[in-house]
Structure 1
Amino acid sequence: MKRLSFILLLLITAHLTFAQFPGAGAASVITGKITGTVIDSISRRPVDYATVALSRSGQTKSTSGALADDKGSFRIDNIKPGKYRVTISFIGYKPKTIDPVTTTAAKLDFNLGDIILVPDSKVLGEVTVVGETPVVENKIDRIVYNAEKDVTSAGGNATDVLRKVPLLSVDYDGNVSLRGSSNVKVLINGKPSGVMAGNMADALKAIPADQIKNVEVITSPSAKYDAEGTSGIINIITKKNNLEGVSGSINSSIGTRQNNANLNLNIKKGRFGFSSNAGGYYSWPAESIIDFKSSGAGYSNTQSGNNTTDRLSGNGSVGIDYDFNTYNSVSSTLKFSRFSFGTDGANDAISQVGNNISSYVRNTNNNFSANNYDWNNDFTHKFKKEGQEYSIAAQYTRGNNNNDYTTNFSTDPLNEVATNDGLNQELTFQADYTQPFKKVVWEVGAKSIFRDINSDSRANKINPSNNTYTPIAGRNNVYSYSQDVAAAYSTFAFTLAKKYGFKIGGRYEYTDINGSSAPTLAQTPNFANNYGVFAPSAVISRSFKHFQTVKLSYNKRIQRPSLFYLNPFRNVADSLQQSQGNPTLKPEISHNFEIGYSTFVKTTIINASLFYRRTNGIIESIVTPVMENNRTISLQSYNNIGSNNSFGFNFFGSINPVKPLTLRTNLNINSYNINVDNSSINPNPTQSDKIYLLYNAFVSASVNLPKGFIIESFVILNSPRRTFQGENAGFNMWITGFKKELFEKKGSIGLTLIDPFNERKNFSSELKGATFSQSTNFSIPFRSVGINFSWRFGKLKTGPTKKRGVTNDDLKQGDQNGGATGGGVGGN
């Protein structure tokens, strides 16, 4: 009944919204398009970025137009049947006019074919116009990193790409932070993905870098976005051609650490579009060396050994879209992915409690796999008025996470086998409407999310004498968790005096939660909860001469825990270090303030900002000593620790001191000041209430040499990450890439080197509590050499770009690597 209420709320809101606007349901006039390709008469090569003007036949006043792309292709939409005059012009060429161009009701589309432009003999010198997209672009509410322009990204995965994005930092485990906070939402093409709801660090490793077009870091999300993600949103946009014809690309790499391959195929014919993608990733088995020590009142534990980890993943997508006319379009996309890793290891352990000392050898086999798919469907209706439109979208997401392990001891009776099958299902409905007025743009919409999580845990003790299994009390249960969210928003954007830009809005989200366990256990109690949150947002910008902009922003955000944090499954693969989720976690609430400055002068780009973030109910990992089976173990879980006040500074700069050379640098500094107010936690008095400064930075240089040779080098530095109990290891990396363009820039071959002088790297962490101290050190292979190849094929003509689909960004996602203690992570 509750879910029915949510659906009715969405439908009523959408109906009331759209019913206010006359003509919303009126029949649309079917229109067509005029297309063509501009060609140089001498070289027979495309004339990129030529200007195309459209007017009525016999008239010179332009009523519409377009700009050719880098292939010389152009497309003018919204053409009613009639006779037209088309004028093509470009610097250094004689203009060319075609009149009449006739479209009819029977033939709405007109293809002009190849249009030949003749160089103007009056031009005294050569004129060269280069339309090159920079690696980093700065926009009012986000920074865009164009990964396809970065040589050193080839052959890696999404984790490697994110390490080079301004404002972001990624540690050795693949955990992503934005301005020092891991409470960030990751979207794929503006949409959520079930694969991210489980283990985000491993999910990112499954996305090949060669598939990524760019990455958007949204630091000031408007109320149109879900209020989730206390520090902001990361949107990974994959490559897809929206051009007329058949096209595709092949990317592959092989290296000493990892190998991947990816294939894209796109077909665009008239109003029909088809896109598909398939790829895979495999990392060679990597050996990690681990040392662990913990001690407290009356106990001590030590452990050392070797683990070998390998990873395998595959992903793909298929999508179709159809434009009924200029005003109405539909699309459907199915994405699927699978990734897995396995860890085999042997560890020597010594455990002491009082005067009792036990020593043993532990052999463990741990396997984790995740299967996910997302199905998106949407409909978009555009009105005759420019910018006026509404859309209705639906998404179904399903993800299965399976974690199995077997642990055997040489002299210990605690041999066991355990399995956990996790299922995450989401159903989302979304409706959005945009209404432009003379000086104001109004956006309004509603959304409902129905989320079901199921965790089936089984643990059995193994009797080595007869190989029989006995269920372990308290560790066999099925936990069910439902989370329903209903939301509505409204935003207004307008400009005053041509210099001041405003975007203000508000979003209300109501959440209903239920959790139950069968049988009911102490660590997984049954509970129900509901709450509402109003999240306002505001951005004010002021533009100055010479492309200078100053921005002020405020937004309130919420972070709901995902399956990764909630799953009550106890992982006992390591007898001394165990982990378990916390199904009773509450959401985080943050208030974010920012002042930013950006400028573009000739070849120099500067972006700088100051920010303050107050987070209440912050979720952090917590380690607690627990006495079990005559030894004291370190149990890792999650809890709402307290509040954190963080001040920070960001700087990004890019400059071309000489034509072939580009230098870039990025620096992020933020404070960590935790105030532990959870009465159930005994904080470490030496850590709580202190202020720590954290940083991450990078410096890069790229050189474009003649004949398509490109060289780039990249250095990354990350400080240790703080928690209220201590710190985790810092991280640094040096990457150098070489690339040679082939086949008239349709292909390339490259070489990537990662830390050539460091065969292995050591990572250490230190944790302290009021009654214990713990240290971990592990070493993993790091030096890497890889060769990559890419090729693009197909003859294309320009087509329209559309923005569609559901955008769920409302969960705190898992940011820990499931194979962290197994090694084989980072540096790839």
Structure 2
Amino acid sequence: MKRIFTFIFLLAIAITAQAQMGGGGSTVVGRISGNVIDSLTKKPLDYATVTLYRSKGKVPLNGVLTDEKGNFKLNNVAPGNYKVTVTFIGYPTKTFDPIKTTPEKPDNNMGTVIVSPGANALKEVQVTGTQSVIENKIDKMVYNAEKDATVSGGNAGDVLRKVPMVAVDQDGNVSLRGSQNVKILINGRPSGAVASSVGDAMKMMPADQIKSVEVITSPSAKYDAEGTAGIINIITKKKDVSGVSGSISGGLGTRQNNGNANLNVNKNRLSVSGNFGGNLTWPQTSNINNYSTSLATGDVVNQQIGTTRTKRYAYVGSGNVAYDFNDKNSVSTGIRFNNTQFSTEGFTDNSGFRNYVQNNNTTTDFGGFDWNADYTRKFKKEGEELTFAGQWSYGKTNTDIDAFYNLPIFKNQQGGNNALNNEYTGQLDYALPINKVIKLEAGGKLISRKINSDYEIFGQGVDGNYVFDKEASNTYDYSQDVYSGYTVLSFQFKNSVGLQAGARVENTQIDGTSSNFVTALPPFSNSYTNFIPSFAISKTFKKSQTVKLSYSKRIQRPSLQFLNPFRNTSNLQYQTQGNPYLSPEISQSVELNYSTFIKSSVINASIYYRHTDDIIESFLTQPEYSYVDANGQTQTIQTNLTSYQNTGNNNSFGGSFFGQVIPVKNLTLRTSINLFSYKPTASSQFQDATTQENKTYLQYNIFGQGSYNLPKNLVIETFAIFNAPRRTLQGRYPSFNMWVISMSKQFMQKRAKIGVNVIDPFNEVKHFDSQVNNGTSLVNTNFALPFRSVGVNFSWSFGKMNFNANPQQKKKRGVNNDDLKSGGDNNGGTGNQ
């Protein structure tokens, strides 16, 4: 590790020294400012365009809009002679040349700039523009959530359900093109909350915090190799504007309530932003029915029927500070914190080897923070850039458990799980445009994860006192270090042809120790190195038509809940256990994509093939299990044990389509369809415990939406989602369908909005059915929970702002840990829950 850090440090010094030696010139920068007023009314002109050129030049260097007081500031201006023009609709352009700045006096205040209206001044001019809800870019699909009225009042899961190629199930688990092996980032960075539990992280984030969602199905070698299906990057709201701005939003509903507020302050070279939001779910009662049937006799072997009442609340906050010392050097730092608490109380009526009732009360509180900092150094050559970035993610989970039985032979239990998760990341990235055709990108990275889980259970003895249960308790320590480096070459040829080729190498080191006082669980270690190539070629034709062919290789490392070898027996009939000897999934995919824009219509279509080796799936067996009851007697039962295995490989052919059309004025229709095959081939040791018989299953995700603009800023929208059941080697898991109707109205010059959402008006309760067949038994699960809801939402934006006229200058900061296979709604940092 010391060698890697030494290498990165020396590389950074060498690059920086070379750039400073070759750069030459002064690094002092200043600003040009002034105040624009009307010559007749003497009132300030807001939203006038101020443009900066070289003296006598014709190519604009920078530009801004004046604020409500007519003020403007052009920042990061190097010493020299410039030309400044002021334009406004109905006014002739006014030019000032030369405007001088020097190293001794880098700032030039032009004072009051007086402009006169032209002879043919327009009486009234209204300029409007609409950003498409879906944008198809060369390397990703972008869903602009803030432009979609139907996402207000929900959470991140509700937003992702509307993103092309993405599906979200009833627990908030996210899949891309049918695979849950997807890496979710927030503002380009990993999140400790997402690593612990994808479902809970999506539920805790208010929809009103989200600006857009980026979907990358064929990442280049620059990205971490983790996530066989691709990357989903959630962008939160943060305006790149000068001045003070912000918004407040919220919603009240029959199922959940939420609120969100954000504030942005951009002053000269300093940018500060903050955000806070949360949600509260009304208590919900769900019902579950588990039963196992023998395939040989058709008899029900055991059954659990239960009811659970759940209460949940969560909040998320963030703060960021960025400062540009000059046009070459900038720093930024930010922190994002989160907390969720949910409590459940209920019972299960068990029948099978013994009839008994189990009452459970569980409270889980988990939270943490992600702190990041980075430094960016730009060089004299346009596009040459060096970035250092670091991040510390911290997570803590506390779970309290109470279990009581109506039969005295079972031990009543109390206890819980305390877990800590620390992740440290260091990253260096360097970009160099070699010439107009070739661009080089290279970098290195280290991710170090340290996880501790302390699971303690106390059983009630015959004297009524609770005694530490050695067999049911466990302490687990886990560490994972990932070392990686990459190189990417991009070529932009004539005739709008682009080519990108890259390679990445990742080395993974894993160590784990599980301490149980009764069961001897040996420590384990593992290491592996992966070579990850990537390739893409694209061609853009006239009329905005683009064709792209890409190849990518990805891996999926198992996270803690897949690896922890401790056997969780809190539910005697349905137990779970991890597998520390899992290998990572390896997938290779080829994709052909076509996109075009025809006036207001958007079409994006792709076909793809993906081959995956060493699939990681849950696997059901039914071994016998022996335990000591409250009377000290040994009991042996047949139980349902779910573990995780590398079950085999899969070949999948698929196609996706997205289209948007405006058939008549004010009506917009959008649809997204993803079809793909699932055809697993089991490894020899698992063939007897599977029932797929080499079948091919057609999977689908379908989304359709329509919106209509009525007079007086009224909008009516509706959308529907249809997903096929998720398949595994042993069975199927629930499908998810939903229908939403909404109406909203904008007022206060479109700064405020109020709306009403209705979710599934004809389904008060939704049922989710799954079925697992291990060759000897059929295990069915029916889960039902309240779903229909009606809600009112509102939003208000404030602040009159001066938008940055040169967004290309904005820097993409931070680390990107596209990492780890996370599963279900398990708390990945806890291990023993």
Query: Shared topology, TM-score over 0.5?
Result: yes
Secondary structure at 2:135's aligned position in 1? Answer: strand
Q: Contact 1:196–1:814 (CA<8 Å) still a contact in 2?
A: no
Match of 1:273 in 2: 271
> Can you list the C-alpha shifts for 1:499-523, whole angstroms capped at 9, x where unaligned?
2111111111111111222348868
Match of 1:487 in 2: 484
Match of 1:553 in 2: 550
Match of 2:185 in 1: 187
**Range with bigger deviation, 523-532 or 104-113:** 104-113
Q: Contact 1:672–1:722 (CA<8 Å) still a contact in 2?
A: yes
> Can you list the C-alpha shifts for 1:561-609, whole angstroms capped at 9, x where unaligned?
2223234454444332233333332211111110000000101100000
Alpha-carbon distance in structure 2 between the residues aligned to 1:660 and 1:67: 32
Do residues 663 (structure 1) and 669 (structure 2) align?
yes
Task: Label 1:304 to 1:642 Cα distance change in 2 as closer, same or farther (>3 A).
Answer: same
Task: Label 1:219 to 1:410 Cα distance change in 2 as closer, same or farther (>3 A).
Answer: same
Match of 2:659 in 1: 653
Do residues 328 (structure 1) and 333 (structure 2) align?
no
Task: Label 1:321 to 1:90 Cα distance change in 2 as closer, same or farther (>3 A).
Answer: same
**Range with bigger deviation, 64-73 or 184-193:** 64-73
Shift in Å, 1:373: 0.9
1:242 to 237, 240, 243: 240
Secondary structure at 1:707's aligned position in 2? Answer: coil
Task: Label 1:17 to 1:522 Cα distance change in 2 as closer, same or farther (>3 A).
Answer: farther
Alpha-carbon distance in structure 2 between the residues aligned to 1:158 and 1:183: 18
> Can you list the C-alpha shifts for 1:662-717, whole angstroms capped at 9, x where unaligned?
110000001111111162x3544431522111001111011223332222111111
Do residues 705 (structure 1) and 710 (structure 2) align?
yes
Tell me which amino acid in the other structure corresponds to 1:141. Answer: D
Match of 2:812 in 1: 803
Task: Label 1:78 to 1:611 Cα distance change in 2 as closer, same or farther (>3 A).
Answer: same
Please list, as runs of the form range in 1=range in 2, the aligned pairs for 1:149-298 lying within 5 A after superposition. 149-296=147-294
Shift in Å, 1:340: 2.1
Do residues 739 (structure 1) and 744 (structure 2) align?
yes
Task: Label 1:410 to 1:547 Cα distance change in 2 as closer, same or farther (>3 A).
Answer: same
Alpha-carbon distance in structure 1 between the residues aligned to 2:584 and 2:423: 18
Q: Contact 1:14–1:445 (CA<8 Å) still a contact in 2?
A: no
> Can you list the C-alpha shifts for 1:203-252, whole angstroms capped at 9, x where unaligned?
11111100000000011211111111111000000011232222222111
Task: Label 1:132 to 1:784 Cα distance change in 2 as closer, same or farther (>3 A).
Answer: same
Secondary structure at 2:718's aligned position in 1? Answer: strand
Match of 2:730 in 1: 725
Match of 1:825 in 2: none
Alpha-carbon distance in structure 1 between the residues aligned to 2:555 and 2:666: 45
Alpha-carbon distance in structure 2 between the residues aligned to 1:160 and 1:287: 21
> Can you list the C-alpha shifts for 1:397-454, whole angstroms capped at 9, x where unaligned?
1112233322111125142234222222111111111111222111111111111122
Please list, as runs of the form range in 1=range in 2, the aligned pairs for 1:297-308 lying within 5 A after superposition. 300-308=301-309
Do residues 635 (structure 1) and 641 (structure 2) align?
yes
Do residues 530 (structure 1) and 527 (structure 2) align?
yes
Shift in Å, 1:345: 0.7
Q: Contact 2:614–2:649 (CA<8 Å) still a contact in 1?
A: yes
**Range with bigger deviation, 265-274 or 104-113:** 104-113
**Range with bigger deviation, 400-409 or 110-119:** 110-119
Alpha-carbon distance in structure 1 between the residues aligned to 2:32 and 2:275: 30
Alpha-carbon distance in structure 1 between the residues aligned to 2:262 and 2:133: 22
Alpha-carbon distance in structure 1 between the residues aligned to 2:728 and 2:790: 34
Q: Contact 2:521–2:565 (CA<8 Å) still a contact in 1?
A: yes
Match of 2:824 in 1: 815
Do residues 695 (structure 1) and 704 (structure 2) align?
no
Task: Label 1:35 to 1:154 Cα distance change in 2 as closer, same or farther (>3 A).
Answer: farther
Task: Label 1:261 to 1:126 Cα distance change in 2 as closer, same or farther (>3 A).
Answer: closer
Match of 1:540 in 2: 537
Secondary structure at 2:2's aligned position in 1? Answer: helix
Alpha-carbon distance in structure 2 between the residues aligned to 1:219 and 1:111: 49
**Range with bigger deviation, 433-442 or 206-215:** 433-442
Q: Contact 1:520–1:526 (CA<8 Å) still a contact in 2?
A: no
Tell me which amino acid in the other structure corresponds to 1:444. Answer: A
- Structure 1 runs not aligned, ≥5 long: 353-357, 820-828
Q: Contact 1:461–1:472 (CA<8 Å) still a contact in 2?
A: no
Superposition CA RMSD, Å: 2.9
**Range with bigger deviation, 603-612 or 276-285:** 276-285
Match of 1:318 in 2: 319
Match of 1:748 in 2: 753
Tell me which amino acid in the other structure corresponds to 2:139. Answer: D
**Range with bigger deviation, 303-312 or 604-613:** 303-312
2:140 to 142, 147, 152: 142
Task: Label 1:687 to 1:544 Cα distance change in 2 as closer, same or farther (>3 A).
Answer: same
Q: Contact 2:180–2:823 (CA<8 Å) still a contact in 1?
A: no
Alpha-carbon distance in structure 2 between the residues aligned to 1:557 and 1:764: 31
Size of the alignment, in residue pairs?
808
Q: Contact 2:54–2:61 (CA<8 Å) still a contact in 1?
A: no
1:767 to 759, 763, 772: 772
Shift in Å, 1:785: 0.9
> Can you list the C-alpha shifts for 1:243-292, whole angstroms capped at 9, x where unaligned?
22222221111111111111212222221222212222111110011111
1:503 to 500, 521, 525: 500
User: TM-score, normalized by length of structure 1?
Assistant: 0.91
1:369 to 354, 358, 365: 365
Secondary structure at 1:304's aligned position in 2? Answer: strand
2:374 to 372, 375, 378: 378
**% same residue:** 48
Please list, as runs of the form range in 1=range in 2, the aligned pairs for 1:773-784 lying within 5 A after superposition. 773-784=778-789
**Range with bigger deviation, 658-667 or 562-571:** 562-571
Match of 2:593 in 1: 596
Match of 2:794 in 1: 789
Shift in Å, 1:45: 11
Do residues 390 (structure 1) and 386 (structure 2) align?
yes
Secondary structure at 1:658's aligned position in 2? Answer: coil
Shift in Å, 1:459: 2.4
Match of 2:455 in 1: 457
Q: Contact 2:64–2:74 (CA<8 Å) still a contact in 1?
A: no
Shift in Å, 1:27: 8.2
Match of 1:406 in 2: 402
Please list, as runs of the form range in 1=range in 2, the aligned pairs for 1:604-615 lying within 5 A after superposition. 604-615=601-612
Match of 1:478 in 2: 475
Secondary structure at 1:94's aligned position in 2? Answer: strand
Match of 2:831 in 1: none
Do residues 758 (structure 1) and 763 (structure 2) align?
yes
Alpha-carbon distance in structure 2 between the residues aligned to 1:602 and 1:568: 57
Task: Label 1:117 to 1:744 Cα distance change in 2 as closer, same or farther (>3 A).
Answer: farther
Task: Label 1:25 to 1:117 Cα distance change in 2 as closer, same or farther (>3 A).
Answer: closer
Alpha-carbon distance in structure 1 between the residues aligned to 2:506 and 2:128: 47
Alpha-carbon distance in structure 2 between the residues aligned to 1:106 and 1:706: 58
Please list, as runs of the form range in 1=range in 2, the aligned pairs for 1:51-66 lying within 5 A after superposition. 52-57=50-55, 59=56, 61-66=58-63
**Range with bigger deviation, 619-628 or 648-657:** 619-628
Task: Label 1:699 to 1:790 Cα distance change in 2 as closer, same or farther (>3 A).
Answer: same
Shift in Å, 1:197: 1.4
Match of 1:341 in 2: 342
- Structure 2 runs not aligned, ≥5 long: 626-634, 829-833
Match of 2:630 in 1: none
Tell me which amino acid in the other structure corresponds to 2:725. Answer: P
Alpha-carbon distance in structure 2 between the residues aligned to 1:706 and 1:34: 44
Alpha-carbon distance in structure 2 between the residues aligned to 1:84 and 1:543: 36
> Can you list the C-alpha shifts for 1:22-76, whole angstroms capped at 9, x where unaligned?
637978512134467989999999886x76543344x253352336599999865
Task: Label 1:133 to 1:447 Cα distance change in 2 as closer, same or farther (>3 A).
Answer: same
Q: Contact 2:50–2:66 (CA<8 Å) still a contact in 1?
A: no
Shift in Å, 1:481: 1.4
Q: Contact 1:454–1:481 (CA<8 Å) still a contact in 2?
A: yes
Shift in Å, 1:107: 5.5
